């Protein structure tokens, strides 16, 4: 791995990330491997946000003054960048939200409440993040819909035969599935799942929180009805996310949140709604967040998402190889790097994941420990928690080596 030709110049790229320049403590460099939780931000994103607040901070869509004009232009330009990034057919299909969770709740509360009836099935999977389980459970409690879950095969991929059976035997109105698992790393065949869902007369919502930052996404090729993702996992700021929806679906959906900017007219007797996408953007939006996400999209586009994917694939392949050397380590999810994204969750025999993470942190290595907002999945694997190292554009094979060395130190500390 270390001898391979680099896909892009990681050293130069790392210089763009101020946080990676600092020492973790006492001369120990920071090895940041918690990218599935949140990515670091390049100076280009930080400076874009700083520039907005310093130079043209104002509300959007309202003022006729220069600052508001400039803020509105930058906010709408970000929307167009994102449309191209995921190949949506129209900028009107790009709804700014506060994140993936907000996007999924929007679909549940708007489309779901208007279109689902008691007995209808929402088909999720057992590997979902809580944000793609709980909104549907809330709707189930309110409307009497039924939430069912596609099970896993032993290799950590979805049981697609069971999926096909669910679609055949149950009144499934919506399939809701993550594109890439935040624990197993599994890349789900969402395009094929969309085709089957549509053949069965169901819609499909894809949770793209772990895919959009890491691989080329084409919502039209997938034929997703809805696609949700977050800015902060893809070099952008927190507090901003996107819901993509097919235009004809969004047009027919009632608003979810009411307030300013989403109306055409308001009278005391009732109101009418603004056009897409504003119908779903009530209140002053996360202006700096949207503009910052636009800068993040510029950064990723300049790298090339195919190269981002290739870089991460190489790192993941190397990490899987090295993790397999560690005695007592059990990897969750597919052993084959070709079937997964840049996420490696694992358990160490006899040592709780929190303790693993704590000792790694003492050596400057940041990983996540816990259930990663996927409690049902951890229950299936018979473990309460796992440790997770997840990679991004700035990670290097040397950092994988540091992780492995750190894991041996963990074992030493606990004398296992």
Binding site for other proteins (CB under 8 A): 61-64, 66, 68-69, 72-73, 76, 80, 83, 90-92, 261, 263-265, 274-275, 278
**CB 383 to other proteins: min, Å:** 48
**CB 236 to other proteins: min, Å:** 21
Report the residue number, 88 or 367, with the smaller CB distance to other proteins. Answer: 88
Number of H helices, E strands in the chain: 15, 17
Report the residue number, 61 or 352, with the smaller CB distance to other proteins. Answer: 61
Element at 242 (helix H, strand E) = strand 241-245
Is the distance from CB of 190 to CB of 173 less than 8 angstroms? no
Measuring CA to CA, how many Å separate 177 from each of 151, 240, 347? 12, 21, 25
**CB 91 to other proteins: min, Å:** 6
Closest to 356 in 3D by CA, of 309, 404, 298 = 404
Report the residue number, 256 or 278, with the smaller CB distance to other proteins. Answer: 278
Report the residue number, 199 or 275, with the smaller CB distance to other proteins. Answer: 275
Question: DSSP letter string over 312-334?
Answer: HHHHHHHHHHHHTTSTTEEEES-
Closest to 122 in 3D by CA, of 110, 135, 299, 114 = 135
CA angle 113, 115, 118 (to 5 degrees): 75
**Active site (annotated) includes residue 373:** yes
**CB 272 to other proteins: min, Å:** 8
**CB 244 to other proteins: min, Å:** 15
Question: DSSP letter string over 37-55?
Answer: T-----HHHHHHHHHIIII
**CB 280 to other proteins: min, Å:** 14
Contacts of 300 (CB under 8 A, 6+ apart): 85, 213, 234, 235, 308, 393
Helices (H), 17-124: 43-51, 66-85, 100-106, 113-115
Measuring CA to CA, how many Å separate 44 from each of 16, 118, 201, 296, 316? 8, 49, 44, 8, 26
- Residue owning tokens 């549509």: 198
Report the residue number, 69 or 361, with the smaller CB distance to other proteins. Answer: 69
Give me the catalytic one of 30, 200, 362, 373. 373
Report the residue number, 60 or 400, with the smaller CB distance to other proteins. Answer: 60
Catalytically active residues are 373
């Amino acid at each position: 791995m270390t001898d391979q030709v680099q896909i892009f110049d990681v050293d130069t790229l790392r210089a763009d990330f101020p946080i990676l320049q600092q020492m973790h403590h006492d001369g120990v460099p920071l090895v940041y491997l918690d990218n599935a939780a949140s990515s670091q931000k390049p100076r280009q994103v930080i400076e874009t946000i700083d520039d907005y607040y310093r130079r043209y901070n104002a509300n959007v869509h309202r003022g006729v003054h220069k600052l508001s004009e400039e803020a509105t232009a930058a906010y709408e330009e970000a929307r167009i960048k994102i449309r191209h990034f995921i190949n949506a057919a129209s900028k009107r299909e790009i709804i700014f939200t506060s994140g993936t969770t907000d996007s999924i709740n929007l679909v549940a509360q708007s489309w779901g409440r208007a279109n689902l009836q008691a007995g209808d099935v929402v088909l999720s999977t057992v590997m979902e993040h809580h944000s793609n389980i709980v909104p549907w459970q809330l709707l189930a409690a309110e409307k009497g819909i039924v939430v069912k879950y596609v099970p896993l095969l032993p290799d950590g991929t979805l049981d697609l035969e069971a999926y096909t059976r669910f679609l055949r035997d149950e009144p499934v109105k919506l399939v809701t599935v993550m594109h890439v698992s935040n624990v197993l790393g599994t890349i789900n065949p969402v395009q094929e799942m969309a085709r089957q869902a549509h053949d069965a007369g169901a819609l499909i919502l894809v949770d793209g929180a772990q895919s959009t930052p890491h691989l080329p996404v084409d919502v039209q090729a997938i034929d997703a009805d809805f696609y949700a993702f977050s800015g902060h996992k893809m070099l952008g700021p927190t507090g901003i996310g996107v819901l993509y929806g097919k235009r004809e679906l969004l047009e027919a959906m009632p608003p979810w949140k009411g307030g300013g900017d989403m109306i055409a007219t308001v009278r005391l007797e009732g109101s009418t709604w603004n056009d897409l996408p504003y119908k779903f953007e009530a209140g002053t939006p996360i202006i700096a967040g949207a503009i910052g996400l636009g800068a993040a999209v510029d950064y990723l586009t300049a790298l090339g998402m195919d190269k981002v994917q290739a870089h991460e694939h190489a790192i993941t392949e190397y990490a899987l190889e090295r993790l397999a050397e560690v005695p007592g380590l059990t990897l969750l999810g597919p052993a084959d790097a070709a079937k997964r994204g840049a996420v490696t969750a694992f358990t160490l025999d006899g040592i709780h994941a929190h303790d693993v993470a704590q000792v790694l942190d003492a050596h400057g290595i940041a990983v996540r420990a816990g259930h990663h907002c996927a409690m049902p999945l951890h229950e299936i694997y018979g473990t309460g928690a796992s440790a997770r190292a997840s990679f991004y554009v700035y990670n290097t094979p040397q950092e994988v080596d540091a992780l492995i060395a750190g894991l041996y130190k963990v074992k030493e500390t606990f004398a296992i």
